[in-house]
Chains A and B, each alone.
Chain A
Amino acid sequence: MASIATVLPASATLPRWLAPVALLAVAYLFVPFVGTSYLFEAILLPFLALSLAGVGLNLLTGYAGQVSLGSAAFMAVGAFAAYNFNLRVEGLPLVLSIVLAGFSAAAIGIVFGLPSLRLKGFYLAVSTLAAQFFVQWALTKFGWFSNNSASGVIDAPPLAIAGITFESAADRYLFALTIVTVLTFVALRLVASQTGRNFIAVRDNETAARIIGVPVLRTKLLAFAISSFIIGVAGVLWAFAYLRTVEPAGFNLDRSFQVLFIIIIGGLASIRGAFFGAALIVVFPLVLSRLGAFFLGDIFDSGVLDMSQRIVLGGLIILFLVLEPDGLVALWDRNMRRFGSVFGRR
């Protein structure tokens, strides 16, 4: 931000809060009225859920420097915990179920964060794989988690808060948008606080952080807890607002990698980056797939098209990362600056 201010003439800088507020205004006041069910169900709902998971993982990996491959497991914990709280505690408001689900994910996150006290980098990543496999195994093994449903698939309860039900696609979008907005705001405040600076200190140099008085162990576990809380809530959105049904296999290692790629492509240590990354990961394959089906659908079958989309997508990701290793968010800022300076000259 500081660099932008130096490039732009002072009169041209807009207040920092304006862009997010404008974006939210569009998301709340414009999109629900013009969006189609496809836009909500296939694009915006998975985008919101994965963005939130990306925000959560970015706190842990981007800010606190702890690499994790267990994101999908924490999403699963959140989804199944919310389901069980909702099912087994009579009269519990949905919002409270979701908060409790977040805390359940946070608790599991702390447990699987313990190895981070001794392990670093790739070694830590491998140990978080344990969370991935253990959680999926436990949810499959013990029928209690899925209320002994024969196939292990759970049905999401209707979304209702204080008597208002969020049934249609647009309603569920607003529900998810509100949760994502609140948690993103919390995350933004957090990274600007002392705790957030502690995260960065631990990431940049653990020894130095310890010397200046940062409680390293507590900071690491706190990072795991907060990150898992947010990812757990993202899991609830994925299950309750987006798919409305969920099975343990839906939260497999692929999903963990997907969340990790979101923050790497979007930009590490950037809350906005999670949204950029999720947009690319969710929306781009769909755009490619629809363009492919429209122009080439008569010639090739859907299988061939799908394969070639993967090649294109993979190539583009490499291209993006080569152009800007700091992620899409850096690419965006640079282009905006250029754009701004062009205007500035005129």
Chain B
Amino acid sequence: MTILSKFKIAALAAGVALTNALPAAHADEQYFPLQSYRVGPYAAGGTGFFGGFIDYLNLINTRDGGVNGVKLTWSEAETQYEVERGVEAYERLKSNPNVAAWNPLSVGIAYAMIDRITADKVPLITINHGRTDSTDGRVFPYVFPLLLNPYSETSGIVNYIASKEGGPESLKGKKIVVLYHGSPYGKETIPIYELLAEKFGFELQQIEVPHPGNEQQSQWLTIRRAKPDYVVLRGWGVMNPVALKTAAKTGFPVDHIIGNVWSNSEEDVIPAGEAAKGYTAITIQASGTEYPVVKEIVSAVYDKGLGNLEDKNRIGSVYHNLGIVNGILNVEAVRIAQEKFGNRTLTGDEVRWGFEHLELDPARVEALGAKNLFHSINVTWDNHEGNGYVTFQQWDGKKWNVVSDWIAPDWALLRPIIEKSSEAYAEEKGIKLRTAEDAEAATN
């Protein structure tokens, strides 16, 4: 039966090729290898994100017939968020032709892939996360921490706390505890919090929660003793609801807990129940189904039974919408690269060029049906983050409500720190800094 269905697909594909009767035997395709994780402690994030990503690719195929006629394809390999499985999946999937970009959604896996994808000349996308200094395109030509790198996120959170307290001056003498996930991802922001504490004069304590984080009694007792004004939750997966529940148990007010960008989903708050009501978290994309692009996904994909999420209630959830935004950015990068190189299958390096010219202003975002879903992005050859804006949302027990404007992180403050780190990396690795001319050329 399964083999039969494979034959059917092959026969169908052959039929399509024949009816087109074009000189090319098969149509142009662009392939997205997906190192997804649908089991393990981080499955909620994995299924939502990759579900949204696949749904958007499906929408482009069914609604537009691909990007300018180039059909989008993909396949998945399970990583369970583990580095060596991620590497195996990378080796397995990279043999497929026409790879556009990698999206592993794991800092550990992304780190292990940097040398490999740089040798392959294929972009690696780490939306909202990743290695901060990969923002510097001079040193990391193929790595893109799109929209929000960890330092910008930190700056956004501190700016938001400042605005709640009545301006940056009032942070002086305040006490902030950062509760972070014991993983490369969690530790990425330790130095930047220290720097911001020095700059703004707030007292800082950073406490680690060992992976996966299903036991936090001692951490929260430490927090109770420290009596901070705010706790920043830099969690992931099961750590987040446990943090919220333990906070409630130890009597820490939930509205003084600020979640980071991987502690901001429905899956983080619903299991915590009442304890999560009033919890605020940063995000770069709003949740909800009212955005035209999400509505189109429902009508063009889910209503035809092509949807990727098993539970349709998760449509429009934080991770699902993040996957959709990630889909938009990937597809638009391909589209922008096609404008330069022609409407055909692109090489990884050409798609890299597309990402380095990925400018979506609010008007273009609106045209894509994503107004207010996310703000805008402007990636250049040396700024691989693209100046994403952040906003804050509060959980009311049923849904997230946006409680702030779009806030800009303090990019000017962060850039020199990022460059210092990336230049040190370049020196250690013997990498020659890239120039704008180097970036303009793309190999095919």
Contacts and interface: CB of A to CB of B under 8 A. Distances in A.
Given A38-B92, A42-B88, A243-B83, A302 B36 contact: yes
B78 A302 contact: yes
A181 interface: no
B323 to A, nearest CB: 14
Interface in B172-218: 182-185, 187-191, 208, 211
A242 B211 CA distance: 23
B184 A286 contact: no
B112 A152 contact: no
A152 B77 contact: no
Interface string B1-25: 0110110010000000000000000
Contacts of A140: 182, 208
Interface in A29-54: 36-38, 41-42, 46
Interface in B236-270: none
Contact of A42 (B91, B108, B211): B91
B64 interface: no
Given A38-B95, A303-B47, A153 B184 contact: yes
Nearest to B37: A303
B75 interface: yes
Interface stretch (A59-67, A73-81, A116-124, A244-252): A244-252
A295 interface: yes
B145 to A, nearest CB: 13
A299 B188 CA distance: 38
A301 B131 contact: no
Per DSSP, chain A at the interface is: helix
Contacts of B436: none
Contacts of B38: 301-304, 306
A189 interface: no
B39 interface: yes
A42 B184 contact: no
A299 to B, nearest CB: 6
B111 A151 contact: yes
A289 interface: yes
A295 B39 contact: no
A305 B78 contact: yes
A93 interface: no
B152 interface: no
Given A244-B112, A297-B75, A298-B2, A151 B91 contact: no
Given A38-B95, A306-B39, A245 B111 contact: yes
Contacts of A36: 95
A340 B78 CA distance: 42
Interface in A275-312: 286, 289-290, 293, 295-299, 301-307
B84 A306 contact: no
B43 A247 contact: no
A295 B3 contact: yes
A157 to B, nearest CB: 9
Nearest to B186: A151
B39 A307 contact: yes
A151 B107 contact: yes
A155 B116 CA distance: 12
Contacts of A155: 111, 115, 428-429
Contacts of B183: 247, 249
Contact of B190 (A150, A289, A305): A150
B27 interface: no
B91 A150 contact: no
Contacts of A151: 107, 111, 131, 184-185, 187-188
B287 interface: no
Contact of B92 (A243, A290, A298, A307): A290
B91 A41 contact: yes
B87 A152 contact: no
Interface residues of B, number: 46
A82 to B, nearest CB: 16
Nearest to A292: B78
A305 B80 CA distance: 12
A306 to B, nearest CB: 4
B128 interface: no
Contacts of A244: 112, 115
Interface in B52-92: 75-78, 80, 83-84, 87-88, 91-92
B111 A289 contact: no
B132 interface: yes
A46 B380 CA distance: 38
A38 B47 contact: no
A249 B211 contact: yes
A103 to B, nearest CB: 25
Interface string B387-423: 0000000000000000000000000000000000100
Contact of B421 (A150, A245, A298): A150
B84 A302 contact: no
A302 B429 CA distance: 36
Contacts of A150: 132, 187-191, 421
A171 to B, nearest CB: 13
A295 B2 contact: yes
A238 B77 CA distance: 22
A59 to B, nearest CB: 25
Contacts of A304: 38
A208 B191 CA distance: 58
Interface in A97-112: none
A244 B114 CA distance: 10
**Max chain A Cβ within 10 angstroms of own Cβ: one of B2, B43, B108, B211:** B108
Contact of A243 (B36, B95, B107, B112): B112
Interface string B101-143: 0000001100110110000000000000001100000000000
Contacts of A243: 83-84, 87, 112
Given A38-B95, A249-B211, A250-B83, 15 more contacts: A36-B95, A42-B87, A42-B92, A150-B190, A151-B107, A151-B184, A153-B111, A155-B429, A242-B87, A245-B115, A247-B111, A293-B77, A295-B3, A302-B36, A306-B80
Interface of A: 36-38, 41-42, 46, 140, 150-153, 155, 242-245, 247, 249-250, 286, 289-290, 293, 295-299, 301-307
10 contacts: A150-B188, A150-B191, A151-B107, A153-B107, A153-B111, A249-B183, A302-B77, A303-B43, A304-B38, A306-B39
Interface of B: 2-3, 5-6, 9, 36-39, 43, 47, 75-78, 80, 83-84, 87-88, 91-92, 94-95, 107-108, 111-112, 114-115, 131-132, 182-185, 187-191, 208, 211, 421, 428-429
